[in-house]
Homo-oligomer: A and B are copies of this chain.
Amino acid sequence: MKIAEVSEKFGISSDTLRYYERIGLIWPVNRNASGIRDYNEIDLRRVDFIKCMRSAGLPVEVLIEYVALVQQGDKTIEARKEILIEQRDLLVARMKEMQKTLDILDHKIEVYENAVLKKEKEMIQTEDQALEII
């Protein structure tokens, strides 16, 4: 699979895919005879993983470190686990913050909703008054 197809498939620009490879965020992808990247199944799974992690806000730097550890084999399993746990905890914390914000947004939206309704009611009353007058 060529880079443009991968870009299309995941909604990540070719530039970003190349950039990720350059900085060691995804493994060097195999090339065909003329030097063009040809993503295989495993490459795609890696891209998907990185996309997922990035979409949740895990820093590129941390992911680079993680990928480097994976490349070093089984002896780094403990270290990798620790990175993942740390990032999981940060993620949970961020989600909590977001939930708090969400509650406030919902509350504010409701207040605005009521304000709008009240305004409309007043307008209806005004209309009613107008009707009475006329």
Residues of chain A touching chain B, judged by Cβ–Cβ distance below 8 Å, are: 49, 52-53, 55-58, 74, 77-78, 80-81, 84-85, 87-88, 91-92, 94-95, 97-102, 104-106, 108-109, 112-113, 115-116, 119
Contact = CB atoms under 8 A, between A and B. Distances in A.
A25 B74 CA distance: 49
Contacts of A58: 101
26 contacts: A49-B104, A52-B97, A52-B100, A52-B101, A52-B104, A53-B101, A55-B97, A56-B100, A56-B102, A57-B98, A74-B119, A77-B112, A77-B115, A80-B112, A81-B109, A81-B113, A84-B108, A88-B105, A88-B109, A91-B102, A91-B105, A94-B98, A95-B98, A95-B99, A95-B102, A98-B98
How many copies of this protein are present in the complex? 2
A52 B104 CA distance: 9
Contacts of A109: 81, 84-85, 88
Contacts of A85: 109
Contacts of A55: 97-98, 101
Contact of A56 (B49, B98, B113): B98
